[in-house]
């Protein structure tokens, strides 16, 4: 499958080799790399993309959830164009910023006040900093398999270049083990930072009992609960927190919220966010030249107008139906293959065991995952090399049918390998 990929994609290969002269690995986003070289994407429209060799794909990656609206959504394109015509770097407070902040707070009730950043990574760095200042404590509990951004990645325990906070790394969905960590570290914990579903880490839903325990134990130990909803806020009109009825102290956002423009945000309880109010003595600094850039603010306002509660629910119902359908095909074939996720986010795993933690994700069969990836590309289905898919609004029945029949033919063709 890999050899066929190389033969089919000479332009992507040549482009990759030439890009390697200026960038390590030929790109500026490590997550996009895979052997032997990634496809060079030339353009997109709706839920389709075309690569440098002219092949058309259905875009089931959806920019790791940031592409929720599909490519060139007319309302978002119009909003960006309208902003451009009024000057793009205004050197001051602006109206779009205030309106967009109001819309974000209205959508997620636990955000009494919000601040914008340029990425989800920055949002998480600032949320952690807020917790450390507010509590006067230093330790932060995170979970194996979680991804909170560049410099904040905990798959396999952590990376040598992670920000040097005093991390305590627990096991996702392990109630008893995590309670033991609260017993050991509780009085020193500034915060628990958790994705309500591991996103990039394999679409592993946080079980309600686990997340409720985190809320209860952070309350009793005086630590802040930070929900990283950079990805999961798309799963319900008020984010996964709204769906679960859990109110975190701080929340971080990113990805799709600004319609695909670069974006991040952190927000939450008024007295915590007021630490950033420059009218207060000793206020915390939070700058960032592009935090209120009008292209992002304008696109974000349009994006949240498009994404009504009804539209959000419909997108996630479509995702649930697709995941259950694909998973049923795997079960019917008695294959060591399954799909996890919630709503519009799903990930394929090559295992027959339940997937509840980062270690469960890592235990899947890597060779089968690679085979699946290259075969799906040959079927015109584009998604993340790690197996993740995220639906966008233009994806309809036709696209879901195409994916299901590609999965079906994979299951038939490799029946023996998948037992
Ligand atoms: N948190 C989560 C849950 C993410 O998935 C990501 C990005 N994949 C981030 C934070 C970081 O966001 P960004 O890439 O915008 O820095």
Name the closest-CA residue to atom 13, ligand 1: 120
Domain edge (last residue) among 257, 277, 306: 306
pLDDT at 158: 87
Residues 375 and 267 sit within 8 Å (Cβ to Cβ): no
Which among 236, 226, 262 has a CA at the least distance from the CA of 152?
Answer: 226
3-state SS record for 350-384 = CCCCCCCCHHHHHCCCHHHHHHHHHHHHHCCEECC
Report how far residue 242's alpha carbon sits from residue 161's, in angstroms, rounded to the nearest whole number: 34
How far does the centroid of ligand 1 lie from the alpha carbon of residue 148, in Å?
Answer: 5
Residue listed under structure tokens 């951004």:
149
Burial class (CB in 10 A: 0-12, 13-18, 19+), 22: exposed
Query: Does residue 161 lie within any of the structural domains?
Result: yes
Domain that holds residue 113: 74-306
Please give the ipTM for the structure prediction: 0.99
pLDDT at 356: 98
155 and 43 in a single domain? The answer is no
Report how far residue 291's alpha carbon sits from residue 261's, in angstroms, rounded to the nearest whole number: 12
- Assess whether the C-beta atom of 231 lies below 6 angstroms from ligand 1: yes
Task: Report in angstroms the alpha-carbon separations of 309 from 171, 175, 315, 346.
Answer: 33, 32, 10, 21
323 and 239 in a single domain? The answer is no
130 and 211 in a single domain? The answer is yes
- The pTM of the whole model exceeds 0.95: yes
The CA R_g of the chain, rounded to the nearest whole Å, is 21
> Which one-letter DSSP state was computed for residue 114?
E
Which among 262, 256, 273 has a CA at the least distance from the CA of 110?
Answer: 273
- Assess whether the C-beta atom of 229 lies below 6 angstroms from ligand 1: no
- Find the CATH number of the domain harbouring 269: 3.40.640.10
Helices (H), ranges, 109-169: 120-135
Query: Does residue 41 lie within any of the structural domains?
Result: yes
Residues 89 and 117 sit within 8 Å (Cβ to Cβ): no
Contacts of residue 111, defined as CB under 8 A and 6 or more positions apart, other chains included, come to 104, 105, 251, 267, 268
275 and 356 in a single domain? The answer is no
Query: Does residue 134 lie within any of the structural domains?
Result: yes
141 and 204 in a single domain? The answer is yes
Name the closest-CA residue to atom 10, ligand 1: 148
Report how far residue 233's alpha carbon sits from residue 223's, in angstroms, rounded to the nearest whole number: 22
300 and 402 in a single domain? The answer is no
Q: How many CA atoms does the CB half-sphere of 176 hold within 13 Å?
A: 0
- Find the CATH number of the domain harbouring 31: 3.90.1150.10
148 and 280 in a single domain? The answer is yes
Report how far residue 59's alpha carbon sits from residue 378's, in angstroms, rounded to the nearest whole number: 13
Instruction: Please identify, by atom number, the ligand 1 atom nearest to the C-alpha of residue 195.
Output: 3
Q: How many domains does the chain have?
A: 2
Query: Does residue 267 lie within any of the structural domains?
Result: yes
How far does the centroid of ligand 1 lie from the alpha carbon of residue 320, in Å?
Answer: 23
213 and 329 in a single domain? The answer is no
pLDDT at 157: 87
Query: Does residue 200 lie within any of the structural domains?
Result: yes
Query: Does residue 419 lie within any of the structural domains?
Result: no
How far does the centroid of ligand 1 lie from the alpha carbon of residue 132, in Å?
Answer: 21
How far does the centroid of ligand 1 lie from the alpha carbon of residue 107, in Å?
Answer: 20
Q: In tens digits, what is the pLDDT along the chain, a chain of 419 residues?
A: 899 999 999 999 999 999 999 999 999 999 999 999 999 999 999 999 999 999 999 999 999 999 999 999 999 999 999 999 999 989 999 999 999 999 999 999 999 999 999 999 999 999 999 999 999 999 999 999 999 999 999 998 889 999 999 999 999 999 999 999 999 999 999 999 999 999 999 999 999 999 999 999 999 999 999 999 999 999 999 999 999 999 999 999 999 999 999 999 999 999 999 999 999 999 999 999 999 999 999 999 999 999 999 999 999 999 999 999 999 999 999 999 999 999 999 999 999 999 999 999 999 999 999 999 999 999 999 999 999 999 999 999 999 999 999 999 999 999 999 99
Residues 251 and 241 sit within 8 Å (Cβ to Cβ): yes
Query: Does residue 118 lie within any of the structural domains?
Result: yes
Q: 223: how many CB neighbours lie within 10 A of its CB?
A: 26
Domain edge (last residue) among 277, 306, 335: 306
Which uninterrupted H or E stretch holds 329? helix 309-332
Which among 194, 191, 269, 263 has a CA at the least distance from the CA of 232?
Answer: 194
Report how far residue 372's alpha carbon sits from residue 391's, in angstroms, rounded to the nearest whole number: 19
255 and 151 in a single domain? The answer is yes
Domain edge (last residue) among 279, 306, 333: 306
219 and 348 in a single domain? The answer is no
Task: Report in angstroms the alpha-carbon separations of 220 from 137, 207, 215.
Answer: 15, 20, 9
Query: Does residue 311 lie within any of the structural domains?
Result: no
23 and 39 in a single domain? The answer is yes
* Catalytic residue numbers, as ranges: 147, 228, 255
pLDDT at 1: 87
Report how far residue 257's alpha carbon sits from residue 265's, in angstroms, rounded to the nearest whole number: 9
43 and 155 in a single domain? The answer is no
């Amino acid at each position: 499958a890999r050899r066929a990929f190389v033969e089919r994609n000479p332009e992507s290969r040549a482009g990759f080799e030439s890009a390697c002269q200026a960038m390590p690995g030929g790109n500026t986003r490590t997550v996009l790399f895979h052997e032997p070289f990634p496809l060079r994407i030339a353009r997109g429209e709706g839920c389709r993309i075309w690569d440098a060799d002219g092949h058309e794909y259905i875009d089931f990656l959806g920019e790791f959830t940031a592409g929720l609206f599909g490519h060139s959504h007319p309302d978002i394109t119009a909003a960006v164009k309208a902003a451009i015509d009024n000057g793009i770097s205004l050197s001051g407070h602006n109206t779009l910023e205030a309106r967009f902040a109001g819309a974000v707070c209205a959508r997620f009730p636990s955000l009494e006040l919000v601040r914008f950043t340029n990425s989800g990574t920055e949002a998480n760095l600032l949320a952690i900093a807020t917790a450390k200042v507010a509590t006067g404590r230093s330790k932060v509990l995170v979970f194996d398999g979680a991804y909170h951004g560049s410099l904040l990645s905990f798959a396999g325990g952590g990376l040598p270049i992670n920000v040097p906070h005093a991390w305590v790394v627990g096991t996702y969905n392990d109630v008893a083990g995590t309670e033991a960590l609260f017993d050991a570290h509780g009085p020193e914990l500034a915060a628990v930072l958790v994705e309500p579903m591991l996103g990039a880490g394999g679409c592993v839903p946080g079980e309600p009992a686990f997340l409720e325990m985190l809320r209860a134990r952070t309350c009793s130990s005086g630590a802040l609960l930070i929900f990283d909803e950079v990805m999961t806020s798309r799963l319900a009109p008020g984010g996964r927190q709204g769906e679960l009825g859990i109110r975190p102290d701080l929340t971080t956002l990113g990805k799709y919220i600004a319609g695909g423009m670069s974006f991040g945000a952190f927000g939450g309880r008024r007295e915590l966010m007021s630490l950033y109010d420059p009218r207060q003595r000793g206020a915390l600094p939070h700058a960032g030249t592009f935090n209120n850039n009008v292209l992002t603010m304008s696109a974000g306002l349009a994006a949240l107008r498009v994404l009504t509660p009804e539209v959000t629910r419909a997108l996630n119902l479509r995702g649930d139906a697709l995941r259950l359908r694909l998973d049923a095909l795997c079960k019917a074939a008695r294959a060591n293959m399954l799909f996890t996720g919630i709503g519009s986010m799903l990930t394929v795993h090559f295992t027959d065991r339940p997937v509840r933690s980062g270690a469960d994700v890592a235990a899947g069969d890597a060779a089968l995952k690679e085979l699946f990836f290259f075969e799906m590309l040959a079927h015109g289905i584009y998604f993340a090399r790690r197996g993740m898919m995220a639906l966008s609004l233009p994806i309809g029945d036709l696209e879901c049918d195409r994916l299901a029949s590609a999965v079906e033919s994979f299951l038939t063709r490799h029946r023996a390998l998948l037992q």
